[in-house]
Every structure is written in C-alpha cells, then in structure tokens.
Chain A
C-alpha cells in the first residue's frame, strides 16, 4: 500500500527531533504542522516572518495578518515571534533552521532539486526555496513519486532549471524514503508492500 499524504507527513514527523526548528514549504509540507503533536515542542518557521506556527485558526481566532508562506491562515503557539523578511532569511541562510521540508518537481541522485519552473510551460518563481536549500541543516523534499504524465520525479539528472545543486538530504514519496548519495538513491524505507520494482528506477540508480 502506498502512503497517503498524512502517512508521508507522519513519516517526516518521526524524523524530527524534539524542540527543533522546522520550515515548511508551500503545498503538501504544510500538512506536517497539523500532524505534529504539541508535546514535541517544535518551533515552525514560515519565511514570511513567523517562528511558532501551530496549525489552523478557528472562525473566532482567524486573523488577516496570521498567514504562512502559502498565504493560508494559521494559528500560532505560545512563544511565537514575528520579524521582517531579512531577519527571516537570515534565520534560514544563517543555518539556524534544523529541518526544512519542500515540495519538488524533480530531484536527482546528486541531491539537486528543480521546483520553480518548467521551461516554456510554467513559471511559479522560486520564492524562498533557493535560500532554504542552502540554509537548513537538513533538507527534506516531499513529492509524489510520478508526474501526471507517468514519468518519475526521481532521476539521474534534473532536466529543468535547478533550485540548488547537491542540497537535498532526504526524499520522501508515497512509495518510500530515499537519500541521494551522489550517484544513486539509497532506499531508507519502503511503504508496506512496495518493492524496488515499483519505484521505476534503473537498478544503477538504486543502492
């Protein structure tokens, strides 16, 4: 059985250390904020200028000035702080974030990531991703294993414009958890019932 998005989020929650700082990218990674038990004492950073994101607000507590980098409404925990964008990226670039979880379109065996444009088709912009991949101590990419056209997103070399070169430590898809080694993906864990054949990766790209 492949993992659901919630199970993927729970796998990442299992990797986090208590009391760590964590940045969550736009999209699937924001689910982690909702899956994280309060007793873990994790401080979630969002690059628009907040450290201490908790989950979602109620209809009573929602505030137009409480959003995450995906522009979604958030709630905050006690001990929260707010700051300008230069400080926010200083926190990132300065190496003060323990874990960062980003979405991705392609990731390769070198740990390079492409997630901000498809030439001739789509440009979203890099937002804070290029800074995050260089700043966080541990960079986790959370993505679906296959693109809509059926092609694999884990590959020998990214073909689309890069977000960063050799920056990704861990990749999680609905099929498993992988670590780019430079020449291949090390399989750290597979979802129950998933085999190496299901990954659709050439044997030389697996170890």
Chain B
C-alpha cells in the first residue's frame, strides 16, 4: 500500500476494500468493546457472505447482530450463542453455518496465528463433541490438537490510539481485540481518542502499533451496558 500514514479520516475510508466473502474478526465481549463505527459501515456498504469471527456475533439485535439481521453473515465462528436470538434462529434454520469453539481455544487459536505457532495441544474439549475428528494425544492428561485461526480483516476498538496504531484499552474492553489484530491480514482500529505519537507512554501500550494497519477516530459511541445491575437495588 502506498499510503505513508495509517490514519484514515473515517470508517468509510478505512474499510474501502471490504468486499463480499471476506473473513472478518470483530473485537468485543458481548457489546463491550465492539467496533461500533466499523460495524455500521459494513451494514451501510451491504457486503454479503461474510464469515464473522467474534465471541458473541453481537447480542440482542445490536453489534454484529445488525449484520445478521441484514443477512450479511453466512458463517460465524464464536463461543457463545446465548443472548443472541438472531444467531440462534438463523443457526437452527441453517441460514448461517456456526462453528462453536471453546472460548479459551478461540482466543489461543488467534494468538497462535499471530505468534507463529503452528498448532497446540489443549485438554479443553477432550471427550466432548468439540474433539470429534480431531487428533488427540495423551500428556499428563488427554489433549486435543488445535490449529491457528486467521482472517482477512480484523475490526477492533480501543479507547485511545496514536498515529502509529499503538492502542490502549479501557478496563475489560480489551478482551479478544489484541489477539484478533495479530491474527488478521489487515487490522482496522477505531478509537475514541486519536492522539499524537508519544501521548501514550510506551509502558502503557497494550497492543503495539505493528499489529495495526489502519486507524481512525470513531464517533457517536453508544457503549451499551447489556445488563446494568446496581448495588442494593
């Protein structure tokens, strides 16, 4: 790519080459830390036949569930379907192919993809339907062989990012985003605050900018709390 800078003006510019049929990792746990602007842009572009790779594929009609409602997702890789009636419905109707992956294996497969690990053994899932057809091996306990998980694109969101793509995440909003950034060919980060180099101290960088190809400042964040529960109420 000829661009000397990673900084894009907005989601429309940053997602210019998002086309039908791509695999797409999307950060967030439930609706916490989801890339709201990039998801809205994908909905607007109307690209179809996407393979979405995200822990929950949205929740309760929000987040990636918007793309499910638009019938833009044909395959989903995730660990949890509960709380996402759109996905459950389309899965049971065979409209979306769903690959369920245990959450720790899901995270580690993306980490492995980014870190150059070709495969790994984990006890997770041994003796369950998840292990069917997979190689197993006995260590101190029986384990299942798992392979890296990659994608064409990752869309992630951080609280703060600099022009090199160094990111700082707030509280539990980090979740899968750094792993997805490592595992994807092109990572597009949106941030609430885009700052100059040096404004995030090196020690405070959660994801080094080398894993981020494009960055833009998002707008109009909803930051939905799915289940607000208050002390003493």
Contact = CB atoms under 8 A, between A and B. Distances in A.
Interface in A38-92: 46-50, 55-59, 62-67, 69-73, 75, 82-86, 88-89, 92
A65 B33 contact: yes
Contacts of B224: 64
B125 interface: yes
* Secondary structure type dominating chain A contacts: loop
A169 interface: no
Give the dominant DSSP class at B's interface.
Answer: loop
A86 B230 CA distance: 29
B191 interface: no
A136 to B, nearest CB: 12
B65 to A, nearest CB: 13
B228 A73 contact: yes
A7 to B, nearest CB: 20
A65 B80 contact: no
A63 B206 CA distance: 20
B158 to A, nearest CB: 11
A76 B230 CA distance: 13
A162 B128 contact: yes
B225 A67 contact: yes
A137 interface: no
Interface in B112-126: 122-126
A33 B109 CA distance: 31
Interface stretch (A8-16, A122-130, A149-157, A182-190): A122-130
Given A73-B225, A85-B175, A86-B108, A126 B100 contact: yes
Contacts of B111: 86
Nearest to A70: B227
B229 interface: yes
Contact of A124 (B30, B80, B104, B105): B80
Nearest to A132: B104
Contact of B130 (A48, A63, A126, A128): A126
A124 B81 contact: yes
A133 to B, nearest CB: 9
Contact of B107 (A50, A85, A163): A85
Contacts of B79: 125-128
- Greatest chain A CB density within 10 A among B83, B174, B227 is at B174
23 contacts: A47-B103, A48-B30, A49-B29, A55-B231, A56-B231, A64-B223, A64-B225, A67-B227, A73-B225, A73-B227, A73-B228, A84-B176, A86-B111, A88-B104, A92-B104, A126-B128, A127-B102, A128-B103, A130-B105, A130-B124, A130-B130, A163-B128, A165-B127
Given A84-B107, A88-B107, A127-B102, 17 more contacts: A48-B175, A50-B172, A55-B231, A56-B231, A56-B232, A65-B171, A71-B31, A72-B229, A73-B230, A89-B108, A92-B104, A123-B91, A124-B80, A125-B79, A125-B82, A127-B103, A134-B126
